[in-house]
Amino acid sequence: MAERAEIVVVGAGPAGIAAACAARECGRSVRVVDENPHAGGQIWRGELPQPWRTRWEQAAVPMQAGATAFGFAGEQTLLVECEGRAMEIAFERLIVATGARERLLPFPGWTLPGVTGAGGLQALMKSGLDLAGRRVVVAGSGPLLAEAGASLLAAGALVAIVAEQASFRQMIPFLGRIAARRGKWTQALRIASALRKTRYRAGAWPLSVERRDGALSVTLRLGPRREVIECDYLACGFGLLGNTELAQLAGCQVVNGCVVVDEHQRTSVLGIYCAGEPVGIAGVESALAQGLTAGYHAAGREDLATACTPGRDRGRRFQRVLAEAFALRPELKELATPDTIICRCEDVRLGELAGFLTWREAKLHTRCGMGACQGRVCGAALEFVAGMPAASVRPPLVPVSVGVLAGEQ
Amino acid sequence: MSGGNPDVVIIGAGIVGAAIAERLSAERLKVIVVEADCAGSGATAAGMGHVVVMDDSEAQFALTAYSRRLWQEKEACWPKAAEYRRPGTLWVAADAEEFAAVEHKHAWYGAHGVQSEILTAGDLAREEPQLRPGLAGALRVPEDMVVYPPAAARWLVERARRQGAVYMQGARVEHTTGSVVTLASGTVLHTGGVIHAAGAQGGHLPVTIPVAPRKGHLAITDRAPGFLRHQIVELGYLKSAHGHETESVACNLQPRATGQVLIGSSRQYGVHTAAVELPMLHRMLRRALEYMPGLAGLPVVRTWTGFRAATPDGLPLIGRAPQCEGLWLATGHEGLGITTSLATAELLAAQMLGREAAIPAEPYSPSRFGEKSAHA
Ligand SMILES: Cc1cc2nc3c(=O)[nH]c(=O)nc-3n(C[C@H](O)[C@H](O)[C@H](O)COP(=O)(O)OP(=O)(O)OC[C@H]3O[C@@H](n4cnc5c(N)ncnc54)[C@H](O)[C@@H]3O)c2cc1C
Ligand SMILES: Cc1cc2nc3c(=O)[nH]c(=O)nc-3n(C[C@H](O)[C@H](O)[C@H](O)COP(=O)(O)OP(=O)(O)OC[C@H]3O[C@@H](n4cnc5c(N)ncnc54)[C@H](O)[C@@H]3O)c2cc1C
């Protein structure tokens, strides 16, 4: 199958939806690709809130669902895997809106069954895992941690604690910003009231976890104290990392884990835009503003794109506030011991990585990052723990079969 | 190494530079190895690591057979990370014409003392059930090996260090003569001699040498233990390797120690960018699928490229550089540098120390292209 559209959008989260709507409303032919079965991304998961639901329905953008972009064939053709087949989609302009994933950090026991991401456990719950009556410890960092705690409680889980590694003091500017925004208020109140049913602790983080008698036994640091808590699940996420791989593969400049864009979301590669989390973690509203900007600009409506500037600027400011409020504390770098697995795919332990000066050298000689995830998890972990800037990106972005990679259609 | 200038500076710690460093330091020469990146990071990190005896010319045969023996002699030394194994090679014949070549190859190997056996179509199907039906047969060369080259290179460097060599990692040679090596950092090394073992790269040399980069693509699958037992090479491979077409592909499949399947191979002249090129990858994978259709379902986790250092006659350059006193060359190994690295080190050491080598060195002498290499 070979398809073509003036504007191709990868990712149907808020940024991608906004971009696709904007471009479509300007009369362009648009196509959206997303690996999930429905539009909405991580946050909306198929249930778009108003006014976006109506806008998305009215735009009626053709969407290739269940389709994963894994590379490029030339400068203006995206390669997509869909139901075990390769598909080529030619574009004039590409909008990369690939969202983010959770940052997982290594500590003793982090690879045990029952230890998941914080968003990861939420996702498992939404896809049917029954958590009613199950004991859960939520730990890590970021605004989504509180939200995860609240939604797990709502599903009947017994959330023993939500442990946020940032100190309360560090979070004040963030809380202040939320207090200043009416829209955010209601959401914050809802979360805060939900969390009354558990303990929310700032300045708290996991030290280790082990499995004892069929349950997990988590050791947390709570300020000056240690506390051991028994649970069935440890849901642990240390904020978000933008999915920059597709943009990197396209040759776009990436600095400090963020795709570099100009005021109209244009990347360093002509005709390629990027919007949402790959540009920097700043939440839904910013993603929407950036998506609109990219969509309008790609559609040739610079005037409309420029009109989105205030929203984008607010997003930029929020991004900085978030980054400072939830900056990871250095103690977290010391959690992993020589025996702690760093690369889950290839079973490489931290001790084996000692003495290597660069990621590439470590990879070549230990297989760290050579497995199916190609360093998506261990790359970020090692960058944080050992200060080694992580993996390089090659096609296929995700494992695809030899048949698909050979172009069998 | 005690004070004073080194006897020799080796540029590059790929498998070739590493093997030379190990060899010369064992002879108590004062050796410095200068490596821009890390040990085994160039073509050595990209190649398939098939240690194979080749019969395309007497000279190629002599070098590969000698070197394979050296790999085997070190069998007990290689660390586990080097993944030294002996799965053997199957040279697969697609049709009757190629099968005739199998018989010829068998006779030739026999006359040269290399063990091999003919597999009929039925034998072949039993040995490698994933191959498509209808192939004519194969020649099995049971003593060919597979290694993980970066780990082998690293081990050779380590051993050289234990024998007194100095290893400078992350140090790029900006310019060299036969006696003065200038690093990008500004450091200047004065030395008795210089060995160029920098693979396909030669910008730092004072003379031009007849070496051109020849790009290759590879793809590796996720683990699929038992899928494949031998290194499988189509007989047409020789055409691809020794033809001078600008682009060619051949079916070359390798079982890794991890249970992964490594899929090659492609050859391109005139391309200098490392990016994976989809059209080339398509051709290469389709060629592999023609021989082994069942590969279609295995997930590929990564693809990459590497550059072979190709010479006009397909043989390496081992020996004194013409027109530059003190400079020695050890490059131009094309698609066989893993195999021939150990023999290269022996030949070079013999020449430098004025000893007789185990095989004649003339066919690989850089001066065969004429004494007058142009000045860069
Ligand atoms: C026998 C064997 C088995 C292997 N098995 C695996 C495996 O199972 N999984 C796995 O992930 N890897 C595997 N590798 C591959 C290995 O880890 C490296 O990936 C290999 O060195 C290829 O380099 P790379 O392109 O990945 O470059 P990287 O490791 O990313 O290193 C960067 C190098 O790429 C070059 N480069 C710069 N830009 C580009 C570009 N646009 N495109 C390509 N190269 C560029 C740089 O010059 C530099 O040398 C294996 C290698 C060997 C030899
Ligand atoms: C796709 C592919 C498949 C292959 N398969 C096989 C196979 O199955 N069997 C086989 O025998 N061979 C194979 N080869 C060939 C083999 O990989 C090479 O011949 C071999 O690795 C060459 O080793 P080398 O040490 O000469 O070069 P390299 O490994 O390239 O090492 C050169 C080193 O020099 C360093 N360097 C370069 N310039 C400088 C400088 N100015 N200063 C300091 N350091 C410098 C580099 O960083 C590098 O580490 C294959 C090659 C490719 C590309």
Query: What is the domain-level CATH number for residue B274?
Result: 3.30.9.10
Rounded to the nearest angstrom, the minimum Cα separation between A398 and chain B is 7
Q: Let me know whether B21 and B130 are in one domain.
A: no
Query: From B151, which residue of chain A is nearest by alpha-carbon distance?
Result: A365
Q: Which of A287, A322, A357 is the last residue of a domain?
A: A322
Comparing A387 with B297, the larger pLDDT belongs to: B297
Q: Let me know whether A220 and A252 are in one domain.
A: no
Q: By the CB < 8 Å criterion, does B274 face chain A?
A: no
Q: Of A358, A399, A405, which has the smallest distance from its Cβ to B285's Cβ?
A: A405
Number of domains observed in the structure of chain A: 3
Residues from chain B contacting residue A367 (CB–CB below 8 Å): 258
Q: Let me know whether A129 and A195 are in one domain.
A: yes
Can you say how many angstroms the Cα of residue B296 is from the centroid of all Cα atoms in its chain? Answer: 28
Rounded to the nearest angstrom, the minimum Cα separation between A275 and chain B is 25
Residues from chain B contacting residue A79 (CB–CB below 8 Å): 278
* Per-residue confidence (pLDDT) for residue B46, from 0 to 100: 97
Helix (H, G, I), strand (E, B) or coil at A286: helix
Q: Let me know whether A177 and A215 are in one domain.
A: yes
* Per-residue confidence (pLDDT) for residue B84, from 0 to 100: 97
Ligand 1 within 6 A of CB of A392: yes
Which atom of ligand 2 is least distant from the CA of B16?
A: 25
| Gap between the Cα atoms of B140 and B115, Å rounded | 9
Q: How does B252-283 read in b/e, with b if 16+ C-beta sit within 10 Å? A: bbbbbebebbbbbbbbbeebeeeebbbebbbb
Ligand 2 within 6 A of CB of B306: yes
Number of domains observed in the structure of chain B: 2
- Could you tell me if residue B70 is inside a domain? no
Cα(first)–Cα(last) distance of chain A, in Å? 6
- Could you tell me if residue B261 is inside a domain? yes
In angstroms, what is the span from residue A38 Cα to ligand 1's centroid? 35
User: What is the share, in percent, of chain B residues with pLDDT greater than 70?
Assistant: 97
Which atom of ligand 1 is least distant from the CA of B42?
A: 49
Q: Let me know whether A96 and A245 are in one domain.
A: yes
Q: Let me know whether B201 and B233 are in one domain.
A: no
β-strand partners of B214: B269, B308
Residue B273 predicted with pLDDT over 80: yes
* Per-residue confidence (pLDDT) for residue B371, from 0 to 100: 61
Q: Let me know whether B254 and B351 are in one domain.
A: no
Ligand nearest to the CA of B216: 2
Predicted ipTM of the assembly:
0.93
In angstroms, what is the span from residue B88 Cα to ligand 2's centroid? 23
Residues from chain B contacting residue A72 (CB–CB below 8 Å): 278
Ligand 2 within 6 A of CB of B262: no
Ligand 2 within 6 A of CB of B332: no
Ligand 2 within 6 A of CB of B50: yes
In angstroms, what is the span from residue B199 Cα to ligand 2's centroid? 5
Task: Give the residue-averaged pLDDT of B233-252.
Answer: 83
Ligand 2 within 6 A of CB of B204: yes
pLDDT in tens, B163-172: 999 999 999 9
Rounded to the nearest angstrom, the minimum Cα separation between B294 and chain A is 9
Q: If you average pLDDT over every residue of chain B, what do you get?
A: 95
- Could you tell me if residue B166 is inside a domain? yes
- Could you tell me if residue B65 is inside a domain? no
Q: Let me know whether B174 and B292 are in one domain.
A: no
Q: Let me know whether B224 and B132 are in one domain.
A: yes
Q: Let me know whether A46 and A117 are in one domain.
A: no
Which atom of ligand 2 is least distant from the CA of B266?
A: 1
Ligand 1 within 6 A of CB of B304: yes
Q: By the CB < 8 Å criterion, does A320 face chain B?
A: no
Q: Of A365, A394, A406, which has the smallest distance from its Cβ to B285's Cβ?
A: A406
Q: How does B204-214 read in b/e, with b if 16+ C-beta sit within 10 Å? A: bbbbebbbbbb
Main-chain phi, psi angles of B162, to 5 degrees: -65, -25
Q: By the CB < 8 Å criterion, does A402 face chain B?
A: yes
Q: By the CB < 8 Å criterion, does B81 face chain A?
A: yes
Q: Let me know whether A247 and A231 are in one domain.
A: no
Q: Let me know whether B204 and B156 are in one domain.
A: yes
Residues from chain A contacting residue B278 (CB–CB below 8 Å): 71-74, 79, 395, 407
Q: Let me know whether A116 and A18 are in one domain.
A: no
- Could you tell me if residue B354 is inside a domain? yes
Q: Which of A300, A322, A344 is the last residue of a domain?
A: A322
Q: Alpha helices, DSSP H only, in A206-301?
A: 245-249, 283-298
Rounded to the nearest angstrom, the minimum Cα separation between B296 and chain A is 4
Q: By the CB < 8 Å criterion, does A2 face chain B?
A: no
| Gap between the Cα atoms of B130 and A190, Å rounded | 59
Dihedral angle of Cα A215, A217, A218, A219, to the nearest 10 degrees: 180
Per the structure block, which two tokens stand in for B48?
Answer: 């398939």
- Could you tell me if residue B32 is inside a domain? yes
Q: Which of A214, A238, A262 is the last residue of a domain?
A: A238
Q: Let me know whether B170 and B199 are in one domain.
A: yes
Q: Which of B147, B166, B9 is nearest to B78 (CA)?
A: B147
To test the contact with chain A by mutation, choose from B261, B302, B303, B304 the residue with the greatest count of A C-beta atoms within 10 A, namely B302
Cβ–Cβ gap B276/A408 under 8 Å: no
Residues from chain A contacting residue B222 (CB–CB below 8 Å): 372, 399
Cβ count within 10 A of residue B111: 8
Q: Let me know whether B187 and B292 are in one domain.
A: no
Query: From A362, which residue of chain B is nearest by alpha-carbon distance?
Result: B38
Q: Let me know whether B286 and B166 are in one domain.
A: no
pLDDT in tens, B36-47: 999 999 999 999
Host domain of residue A143: 104-238
* Per-residue confidence (pLDDT) for residue A343, from 0 to 100: 93
* Per-residue confidence (pLDDT) for residue A1, from 0 to 100: 58
Residues in chain B: 376
Cβ–Cβ gap A357/B170 under 8 Å: yes
Please answer whether residues A178 and A191 qualify as being in contact, where contact means their C-beta atoms are separated by less than 8 angstroms: no
pLDDT in tens, B52-105: 999 989 999 999 999 999 999 999 999 999 999 999 999 999 999 999 999 999
Q: Let me know whether A25 and A143 are in one domain.
A: no
Q: Which of B276, B294, B310 is the last residue of a domain?
A: B310
Rounded to the nearest angstrom, the minimum Cα separation between B85 and chain A is 18
Q: Alpha helices, DSSP H only, in chain B?
A: 15-26, 43-46, 58-73, 96-111, 121-127, 149-162, 237-242, 278-291, 337-353
To test the contact with chain B by mutation, choose from A245, A347, A364 the residue with the greatest count of B C-beta atoms within 10 A, namely A364
In angstroms, what is the span from residue B297 Cα to ligand 1's centroid? 23
Q: Which of A94, A19, A30 is nearest to A294 (CA)?
A: A19
- Could you tell me if residue B68 is inside a domain? no
Whether omega before B142 lies within 30 degrees of 0, making that bond cis, reads no
Ligand 2 within 6 A of CB of B345: no
Q: How does A17-56 read in b/e, with b if 16+ C-beta sit within 10 Å? A: bbbbbbbbbbebebbbbbbbeebbbbbbbeebeeebeebb
Ligand 2, atom 32, residue with closest C-alpha = B198
Please answer whether residues B116 and B141 qualify as being in contact, where contact means their C-beta atoms are separated by less than 8 angstroms: yes
Q: What is the DSSP string of A117-161?
A: -HHHHHHHHHTT---TT-EEEEEEESHHHHHHHHHHHHTT-EEEE
Ligand 1 within 6 A of CB of B223: no
Considering the entire predicted model, what is its pTM?
Answer: 0.94
The CATH number assigned to the domain holding A24 equals 3.50.50.60
Query: From A367, which residue of chain B is nearest by alpha-carbon distance?
Result: B81
Q: Let me know whether A54 and A79 are in one domain.
A: yes
- Could you tell me if residue B76 is inside a domain? no
* Per-residue confidence (pLDDT) for residue A182, from 0 to 100: 65
Q: By the CB < 8 Å criterion, does B301 face chain A?
A: yes
- Computed from CA positions of residues B107, B113, B119, B124, in that sequence, does the dihedral angle turn out positive or negative? negative
Host domain of residue B203: 8-46+149-209+314-369
In angstroms, what is the span from residue A405 Cα to ligand 2's centroid? 26
Distances (CA, A) of A227 to A207, A393, B286: 10, 41, 58
Ligand 2, atom 20, residue with closest C-alpha = B337
Q: Let me know whether B288 and B174 are in one domain.
A: no
Please answer whether residues B71 and B148 qualify as being in contact, where contact means their C-beta atoms are separated by less than 8 angstroms: no
- H or E segment and range at residue A401: strand A400-401
Q: Let me know whether B115 and B178 are in one domain.
A: no
pLDDT in tens, B94-150: 999 999 999 999 999 999 999 999 999 999 999 999 999 999 999 999 999 999 999
The CATH number assigned to the domain holding B180 equals 3.50.50.60
Contact residues for B170 (Cβ-Cβ < 8 A; gap 6+): A357, B35, B36, B37, B38
Sheet holding B188-190, edge to edge: B173-176, B180-183, B188-190
Residues from chain A contacting residue B301 (CB–CB below 8 Å): 370-372, 374, 399
Q: Let me know whether A66 and A177 are in one domain.
A: no
Q: Let me know whether A362 and A318 are in one domain.
A: no
In angstroms, what is the span from residue B126 Cα to ligand 2's centroid? 36
Residue pLDDT tens, chain A, 409 long: 579 999 999 999 999 999 999 999 999 999 999 999 999 988 888 789 999 999 999 999 999 999 999 999 989 999 999 999 999 999 999 999 999 999 999 999 999 999 999 999 999 998 899 999 999 999 999 999 999 999 999 999 999 999 999 999 999 999 888 877 766 777 777 788 888 889 999 999 999 999 998 899 999 999 899 999 999 999 999 999 999 999 999 999 999 999 999 999 999 999 999 999 999 999 899 999 999 999 999 999 999 999 998 999 999 899 999 999 999 999 999 999 999 999 999 999 999 999 898 889 999 999 999 999 898 888 888 888 888 877 689 999 999 999 999 987 6
Q: Let me know whether B120 and B249 are in one domain.
A: yes
Rounded to the nearest angstrom, the minimum Cα separation between B221 and chain A is 8
Q: Let me know whether A134 and A24 are in one domain.
A: no
| Gap between the Cα atoms of B208 and B195, Å rounded | 15
